[in-house]
Structure 1
Amino acid sequence: MRLRRGVTIAVVAAGGAVTTMLVGLVTNAVSESEWPGWLGWLQRHAWLSFALLGGAMVGLAVLLAALSETRTPPRPTEPPHPEDGLEPPGAALVLRSLPRDTAAFTDRSAELEALVRSVRVSQESGSAMPVHVIDGMPGVGKTTFAVHAGHVLSERFPDGQLFVNLNGHTTGRAPVQANEALASLLAATGVPAQRIPVGDDVGAVTEARAAMWRSRLADKKALLILDNAASYQQLEPLIPGGSGCLVLVTSRKRLAAYEEVVLPVAALPPEHAVDLFVLLSGRSADSLDRAVLTNMVGLCGHLPLGVSLLAARLRHHPSWSADDLRARLVVAQDRLGELRAGERAVAAAFDLSYRDLEPDQQRFFQRLGFYPGTDFDVHAGAALGSVPVASARGELDALYDAHLIDEHPGSRYRLHDLLRDYARGLADEGGTMEHVQAVHRVCTYYLAALAVANGHILRSGAVTPAPPGVDVRVETPPMESRTAALGWLENERANVLACIRRAHSLALHELVIRMAAAMAPFLRQAGPWDQAVSLHRTAAEAARHTGDRRALAGALAELGVVRRFMGAYPEATEALNEAVTEYDAVGERRGKADALNQVGIVWYMIADNDASAGAQTDALALYRELGDRLGQANALADLGMVRRQTSRFDAAMEAQTEALSIYRELGDRYGEANSLRDLGVVHCLLGEYQLAEQRHREAFGIYQELDDRVHQAYALNELGVVRRLTGDLPGAREVHSAALEHYTELGERFGRANSLRHLGVLDRMEGNITEAIRVLGDALGSYRDLGSRGGEAAALGELGVVQGMVAEREDAVEAFQSSLEILRELGDRCGEAEVLNHWGMLLHASGEWAASREYFEQALELARDIRCPLEEARGLEGIGRCEWMADGPARAEVSLREALAVYRRLGANGAADAVERLLASQTG
């Protein structure tokens, strides 16, 4: 492509040059002087010169047009997004299996045979399977046909069947954006939230998610139904890249897709429409006048939706004849005369079914039309209808019997788009505020249900009062466990977010604020996090509209937390600092303490240790004033990590031990595991390797109980460090590799960088220097991308060692200098001692024993000051080796034997054996 583009441009440039020359020739064609050679011929034929000039200009214009047309078509533009990101997030409803097949599927044998034949040919030939687009007018049965075809073909696609509603023509709901649908599809196929790409650039995020989606299905045989598509632009990123997947698309309009097979679904032939009517009416064919039936199904346009509604009316009225029903249909069509012919045909069938309902059922049906979501259960239906759940169940059964709603797996219901329009039209006839009231009722229900779910998913000891404005009498679904709560949240995610969107559009700011806060705990852990960012920005704007500074602070705090998860540390700091200011302004001390704790974590991540320690100390003081035990434990644990990072090991141990005691008092297993893990890190730095390994194993076991794979990986990495330091290199590689696999799958970039750094050290120790340089370089790049100064310093120190081993002395010195600058800035004295020892070894290898000894002595002084025995032993060994070379073995023996004793005490047997061999060579 690039070569062809380059050749074309070169031709254009040459054409331009020729044209310029011809202009000059024509301009001077009447010159009196004689031109040399072939130019004289042009001078003597001026008119021909003009013709040549015109031809060249035309050719150049054609070539430029061709170039323009053959350029890569521009990426389809995303639908407009507000620049300030305040639009509430959307989500796609994704079913992990097909909806239930209808028992009364109408004969579509020709269309079905064409689809089955197309699939069979593609599979037998091994060619890529084209997209199959099922199009047709509303009510013609496109979705029913797609679902039925999916069931027929399901055995050919054993790797799964997915059904996605894209809301392309759903009244009251915006079409699902491609990036939203991709996030839901990835989650439905088992991709953890942490691994789903996120970011502020919608186009880049969509591309990244599409690439991951194609990768997930690359070698799979799966069936994907994309229902109710609005445009090819909407669905193109959702199409798998592999050849083994079947994609069925339903849409009301013709979509311009590449390599598609179009399966138009038209209205039923008259005889099939009559057969469907007879089947659904529950009466024998002999008892019905077929001529009357033919006329009646013709009145509803031979559309399956209208036919099924008419048949249901006759089944529910045993005393009616088919002619009675036809007469009522004619009256209904007259009443709906203002509608277009196609609309009137189906609406008349709706009208007959609706008028056959009891008044309470009619009112209930109208209110269902205002539901912002896609599908709903009996509890949401009860909230919409403002009736008890038991009554709602009866109303839904009646509507289902009347074919006015569809039933989906899991005791869920859905209105056809046309029926939704019809229901809303009925409710709007009175010109009341029913729409706003219905949205308010269903949002209030979801608030109550979210409060129940959050009671299961929040950590022990967390404060979980019912959100303000929640009626505790609202009936909510049974959720007896964390698993059940998470399952309910995942099933309802798209509907809750749709309700927030509707509330936002209706300027129901208080509801937006409360629902965003109620969804925050789930979105923190389930993601995708860009969805959470959009939600909390919307909540913040709603709070600004109402002047509620407390709510604004809460939204900003949640925004900051999610930004931290995304690795966007500057944005996280900005949001959390603003939250602290807002909480302070309204005197909300617990919120302020939480925000301080969170911003302290961000500062810890970027190794701004002074700021982090200050924030955690302030948070701890507030938590103690409030008697908030969980808050105290969190602040102590995070403060302990800062103390450890600044080599204040005694203070770190004290804070972390107190935190561990509180976590155990509260029964908070997650906090307990975190404190155990960090205590293990401190024990490791103090050379207490056996105790360190015990703590890491305890933490790993708890993380396994909690099914927390991210923190399992952190525990594995720390366990690997202990194994490396005690000489078990194969064991260290095993756990670091397992951690890397976890991080890569989960998309945890900081943890992945840590695993790579540790593996790079192992590569260096095992003599694989080329691989060590590559892996450490990868880790360094990740740390820099994340803004992790501590990680950057550690990677630079290790990179300097391997560069020195391949005689890249200048690069090694530069790496050590950069690492020391960062470590001294951060106050990491243990890391500083380690790099000084590395630098000393580099100088020792070059024969610069006096300079080398100076670095070892600096490292020894630091190590003894902070009680870091491993670096103390390395400093002593380095000094002894320098003395050995400069002054002889006798002078070196004291330092070397002292180093040997420390190594043996630590269990660092590999280093101890090396020193013993050196000492033995003296006596030998």
Structure 2
Amino acid sequence: MRLRRGIAIAAIAGSVAVTTLLVGLVTNAASNESEWPGWLGWLQEHAWFSFVVLGVTMAGLTAMLAALSETRAPAAPPSASGRSEDVAEPPGAALVLRSLPRDTTAFTNRNAELERLVGSVRASQDRGEALPVHVIDGMPGVGKTAFAVHAGHVLSEQFPDGQLFVNLNGYTPGRNPVQAGEALASLLAAAGVPTQQIPVGDDAGAVTEARAAIWRSRLAGKKALLILDNAASYRQLEPLLPGGSGCLVLVTSRKRLAAHEEVVLPVNALPPDHAVDLFVRLSGRPADTLDRDVLEELAGLCGYLPLGVSLLAARLRHHPSWSAEDLRERLTATRDRLGELRAGERAVTATFDLSYRDLPPERQRFFQQLGFYPGTDLDAYAGAALGAVSVAVARAHLDALYDDHLIDEHPGGRYQLHDLVRDYAHGLAAEGDSMDHVQSVQRVCTYYLAALATANGHIVRSGASVPPAPDSAAQVETPSLESRADALSWLESERANVLACIRRANGLALHDAVIRMAAAMAPFLRQSGPWDQAVGLHRTAAEAARQTGDNQALADALAELGVVRRFMAAYPEAAEALNEAVTQYDAVGDRRGKAHALNQAGIVWYLTADNEGAARAQTEALALYSEVGDRLGQANALADLGMVRRQMSNFEAAVEAQGEALSIYRELGDRYGEANSLRDLGVVQCLMGAYDLAAQHHQEAFDIYVELDDRVHQAYALNELGVVRRLTGDLEGARDAHTQALEYYTELGDRFGRANSNRHLGTLDRLSGDAPAAIRALQEALEAYRDLGSRGGEAASLSELGASRGMTGEQNGAVEAFQRSLEILRELGDRCAESEVLNHWGALLRTSGNPAEAHGHFERALRLARDVRCPLEEARALEGIGRCGWMVDESAPAAEALRGAITIYRRLGAGASADEVERVLASRAG
């Protein structure tokens, strides 16, 4: 990539030089001010030739600049040229708190630093300048995070649009630093961006840029506070910085970060007297009962770091019989225990060791296990699984460790270890049996699998299989998840921890755990995304299955990978994964799994206009589902087969398939499937002219989607209702429905749905006589369809675009659009839509004064419409034939055709169209 860009830049530089030379030649030729030597003189004498060369050079320069800019622009749709499918890297996720952690009691007397920060913020705000990034740096344990959080609480009222806290894991033991793209996905979700709206793809750089753009847009004009904790580098955090001027970003890091506009706020060890005051306050002892000289020595032994001082003070508070001298002796005896640590951390580690030795044996063991926890934060349930204790015992341990300042507390009963404490706990655990690490991770994975099974019971469709919990799941306690809302909330809270567990399990070669957890997370990631995170997960599971030779698990992982790839509109990659899944299911004799993969592959082929392939896949899937008695699978295959038949203009067969699917969905009590089939039935009935029935089914589907709180499908039902209203003359009602649908799609980030709404609104603009507005809306829809690879949408947009261009006199552009639309529709086999295009084209020819050619188009449209039983297009074709007949004085045939059109329009309920044709007949009769 760099080589190609270098060549392009060199070529551009050369072109600029040539352009400058030619401009000089042409200028001198015009002014005769001087003569150029040699062959340049010949060019000066023949100025016309210089003009030609100059024009060619400028055109080439423009093309190269465009090409170069394209290489920098991130593609909206995913590309197959990204990371190889063979790379199996477990996904990561950032832990984001939607509000600040609680302020710590250990915070003490950072008045100078706080005044500097508050003064910097106030000065920028008073001058109306953008707030600079404030980087808080210092050694571990010095209190950087405590200072950032305290400052955030002090300043929170100035940033009412939200406060977000992100742990970037820059120096967290056992955790890789959070990648900017993952952090952005978590930030966008925390800020309320629907996951469907978060960009995904294989090109990590392009995806990060796209997410960063949305993040900056989301915070534009807002006053929000963002704390980026534990950053490893400026490169890691740069994409996370808001673009607006009103947001304050506080960054904590162990090292100085090279930013251009930052304000650096170094946080150093406490002054000795402040450290002693902190010790006295946290010890719970009256100051006059403590020897201040001893306290100064204690504070010095822990490097005057707040973390160490807090731990020492807690020891004294929990041992009323100890004196400060007793504490000093114990600390001195343990300070060299872990000498491999850097000198600046050694004394702090000694305070950890002293605190640890003071714990009861069972709490010591629990604390050791915390060093093995793969996630970022945990609750009592995860702690219980990790320590192999009950939840009640785990909660008591966590509360006691918090009181001892060995862990920090977050909102919602969650706890987190400081990086140094985690490192210390991990070091203690590593001194024991090496298998203990593996067993601890296995226990945590078992807990998550059990909890995921409960959560999936709420979010998976009725009748669909749920990944089962392992047999050992009965040994762990799980949180109470009573509803879908509970399940989704728990899943979102635990997403980063579950993915971290999968990553750790993968690193420990616990392949079975990786496979099971990936399958258990699949339903949630299908619904909530980000889908590129799901792709990484299923790649990891597939590689784990290959390592163990588990073809069943490999097939399952490939099938899930194919589904997610379809969601991402990466159709070739989806088809490849699903085809391989079919092969693997065949190898293990899993007919149900093969049916699932075929059903999903059939959807991919339907979306890519391979109707024959789609029909074959759905028919085979239907047969397999019937063999194994999977009623939900049968309904799904029938419904998808109905959509294929509709796209092939086989309307009666489509109604039959959808009707059968609807019966099964109702039998199973699957409201989601019932609503989908009702909507699809309405679409077919609309094409067949049964507008009343179509409107009824669309309304029923919409009501069910409201009941299910599914705004995506509410929008789809609204669009279909809008179409029926337009066809029956209610243009205002149609616009309301399409506009509401467009708002939902925009909010949810559904590009395909948004394109549909724009296309329908463009049609309404055309019918209202506003051709420029129609062209704008249709052009936007066309570009989206092409980006998404939707050929049916592209053809429909081109058809309407041709009609709209015809209204503005752009006959050549209109014809070009009609021709391309017909090419696509003939490949798709959509004869009803082909008839519509021919009618549009015929209308353009008729109004352009070419009735004979127009008549031919209307005749072809009439044959197609009657062949597939599409009454609306039949009526339009008859109307066109009649109008052409009047133009060439064929009165009798024209009147007959127009009366036929009126009859069909009246039967369909299209009263406005019928009235207009009647006025034409009446005027000719008069």
One fold, TM greater than 0.5? yes
**2:199 touches 2:211 (CA, 8 Å); kept in 1?**
yes
Q: 1:81 to 1:899 in 2, by over 3 A?
A: closer
Q: Given the alignment, which residue of 634, 639, 650 partners 1:637?
A: 639
Partner residue in 2 for 1:204: 206
Note if 1:111 corresponds to 2:152.
no
User: Deviation string for 1:445-495 (max 9, x for gaps)?
Assistant: 111111111011000111225145652332111100000000000000011
CA-CA distance at 1:7 after TM superposition = 15
SS in 1 for 2:477: coil
Matched, 1:195 2:179: no
Query: Does 2:287 align with 1:305?
Result: no
Match of 1:35 in 2: none
Cα distance in 1 for partners of 2:809, 2:921 equals 28
1:625 paired residue number? 627
Q: Distance in 2 between matches of 1:743 and 1:337?
A: 59
The residue identity in structure 1 corresponding to 2:491 is L
Compared CA separation, residues 874 and 338, structure 1 to 2 (3 A): closer
- Range with bigger deviation, 658-667 or 547-556: 658-667
Pick the aligned partner of 1:576 from 575, 578, 587: 578
Residue type of the alignment partner of 1:844 = R
Q: From the superposition, tell whether residues 617 and 775 of structure 1 become closer, same or farther in structure 2 (CA, over 3 Å).
A: same
CA distance in 1, matches of 2:17, 2:818: 52
SS at match of 1:471: helix
Is contact 2:369–2:429 with CA below 8 Å preserved after alignment?
yes
1:81/1:87 contact within 8 Å kept: no
Q: C-alpha displacement at 1:234, in angstroms?
A: 0.4
- Worse-superposed segment, 746-755 or 206-215: 746-755
The aligned residue for residue 439 of structure 2 is 437
Name 2:258's counterpart in structure 1: 256
How far 1:806 moved relative to its partner?
Answer: 3.1
| 1:718-750 deviations in Å (ceiling 9; x for gaps) | 111111111122222222122222223322222
> Which deviates more from structure 2 when the two are superposed, residues 665-674 or residues 476-485?
665-674
2:237 corresponds in structure 1 to 235
Amino acid at match of 2:360: E
SS at the partner of 2:182? helix
Within 1, Cα distance between the matches of 2:331 and 2:686? Answer: 83
C-alpha contact 1:447 1:470 (8 A) present in aligned 2 = no
SS of 2:475's equivalent? coil
The answer to whether the Cα contact below 8 Å between 2:542 and 2:553 also exists between their aligned partners in 1 is yes
Match of 1:91 among 89, 93, 110: 93
Corresponding position of 2:128: 126
Give distance in 2, aligned partners of 1:492 and 1:474.
17
Asked if 1 retains the 8 angstrom alpha-carbon contact of 2:85 and 2:539, the reply is: no
Q: Which residue of 1 aligns with 2:680?
A: 678
Q: Does 1:743 align with 2:752?
A: no
Paired residue type of 1:440: Q
Contact 2:106 2:306 in 1 (8 A): no
Instruction: Provide the rounded CA distance (Å) in 2 between the counterparts of 1:360 and 1:90.
Output: 32
Name the amino acid aligned to 2:750: E
Matched ranges for 1:365-444 at <5 A: 365-430=367-432, 432-444=434-446
Aligned counterpart for 1:546 among listed residues 528, 548, 551: 548
CA gap 1:94/1:875 in 2 versus in 1, 3 angstroms:
same
Matching of residues 767-846 of structure 1 within 5 Å? 767-846=769-848
Give the fraction of aligned pairs with identical amino acids, expressed as a percent.
76
- Aligned equivalent of 2:500: 498
* 2:538 matched residue in structure 1: 536
What is the CA distance between 1:890 and its match in structure 2? 3.5
**In 2, distance between residues paired with 1:314 and 1:762?**
78
* Cα 1:267/1:82, change in 2 over 3 Å: farther
Judged with a 3 Å threshold, the aligned counterparts in structure 2 of structure 1 residues 360 and 112 are, in CA distance, closer, same or farther, namely same
Q: CA deviation at 1:850?
A: 3.0
Residue aligning to 2:64: none
| 2:155 corresponding residue in structure 1 | 153
In the aligned structure 1, how far is the partner of 2:727 from the partner of 2:168? 55
Match of 2:449 among 438, 447, 450: 447
What is the CA-CA distance between 1:98 and the residue it aligns to? Answer: 0.4
Task: Tell me, in whole angstroms, the C-alpha distance in 2 between the residues paired with 1:407 and 1:659.
Answer: 51
Q: 1:291 to 1:541 in 2, by over 3 A?
A: same
Write the deviation string for residues 846-903 of structure 1: whole angstroms up to 9, x where unpaired.
3333332222222222222222110111111112112222234333222111111111
Contact 2:467/2:519 (<8 A) preserved: no
After TM superposition, give the deviation of residue 520 of structure 1 in Å. 0.5
The residue identity in structure 2 corresponding to 1:792 is: E
Q: Give the Cα separation in 1 of the matches to 2:341 and 2:770.
A: 78
Q: 1:104 deviation in Å?
A: 3.8
Query: In the aligned structure 1, how far is the partner of 2:568 from the partner of 2:696?
Result: 32
Q: Match of 1:852, as an amino acid?
A: A
Match of 2:867 in 1: 865
Higher mean displacement: 806-815 or 187-196:
806-815
Q: What one-letter code is carried by the residue in structure 1 that aligns with 2:210?
A: A
Instruction: Mark the runs of 5 or more structure 1 residues left unpaired by the alignment.
Output: 18-38, 40-70
> What residue number does 1:908 align with?
910
The residue aligned with 2:719 is: 717
Please give the per-residue CA displacement for 1:119-141, whole angstroms capped at 9, x wherever unaligned.
11222221100111111100011
Q: Which residue of 2 aligns with 1:25?
A: none
**2:785 partner SS:** helix
Structure 2 CA distance for partners of 1:333 and 1:739, relative to 1, 3 Å: same
- Alignment match, 1:691: 693
Letter in 2 for 1:490: E
Which residue is equivalent to 2:590? Answer: 588
Q: Partner letter of residue 302 of structure 1? A: Y
Whether the 8 Å contact between 2:446 and 2:470 is mirrored in structure 1 is no
- Counterpart of 2:882 in structure 1 is 880
Q: Quote the offset at 1:9 in angstroms.
A: 5.6
* 2:30 equivalent in structure 1: none
AA aligned to 2:120 is S
Report the CA distance between 1:815 and its aligned residue: 2.5
Residue 770 of structure 1: how far off its partner (Å): 2.2
TM-score of the superposed pair, with normalisation by structure 1: 0.90
Q: Please give the alpha-carbon distance, in whole angstroms, between the structure 1 residues aligned to 2:15 and 2:673.
A: 68
Match of 2:558 in 1: 556
CA contact (8 A) 1:560 1:572 kept: yes
Following TM superposition, by how much is the alpha carbon of 1:83 offset from its aligned partner in structure 2, in angstroms?
Answer: 8.2
**Alpha-carbon shift at residue 911 of structure 1 (Å):** 1.3
Note the alpha carbon deviations across 1:502-549, whole angstroms, 9 max, x for none: 111112111111111111100011111111111111111111111111
The number of residue pairs the alignment matches comes to 863
CA displacement, residues 95-116 of structure 1 (integer Å, 9 cap, x when unaligned) = 0000011134211111111111
Aligned partner of residue 473 in structure 2, secondary structure: coil
Supply the RMSD in Å over aligned alpha carbons: 2.3
The structure-2 alpha-carbon separation of the partners of 1:209 and 1:740, relative to structure 1 and needing over 3 Å to count, comes to same
Please tell me the residue identity of whatever aligns with 1:555: A
Relative to the length of structure 2, the TM-score reads: 0.90
Q: Which residue is equivalent to 1:333?
A: 335
The answer to whether structure 1 residue 700 and structure 2 residue 702 are counterparts is yes
Verify: 1:356 aligned to 2:358, yes or no: yes
Contact between 2:601 and 2:614, CA under 8 Å: does it hold in 1? yes
Residue 182 (structure 1) aligns with: 184
Amino acid aligned to 1:188 = A
Match of 1:726 in 2: 728
Distance 1:529 1:166 in 2: 21
State the secondary structure of the residue aligned to 1:887. coil
* Aligned CA distance change for structure 1 residues 747 and 141 (closer, same or farther; 3 Å): same
Deviation by residue 1:564-618 (Cα, 9 ceiling, x = unmatched): 1111111111111111111111011111111111111111112211111111111
Partner Cα distance (1:602, 1:94) in 2: 35
SS of match in other structure, 1:407: strand
- Structure 2: which 5+ residue stretches go unaligned? 1-8, 22-36, 38-67, 73-81
Q: CA separation of 1:6/1:489 partners in 2, compared to 1, >3 Å: closer, same or farther?
A: same
Q: Residue 431 of structure 1: CA displacement?
A: 5.0
Question: Quick one: structure 1 residues 751 and 12, their matched pair in 2 at CA, closer, same or farther if it must change by over 3 Å?
Answer: closer
> What's the CA shift for 1:836?
1.8
Deviates more, 1:880-889 or 1:907-916: 880-889
Mean Cα deviation higher: 405-414 or 774-783: 774-783
Supply the distance in 1 between the matched residues of 2:735 and 2:156 (Cα, whole angstroms). Answer: 43
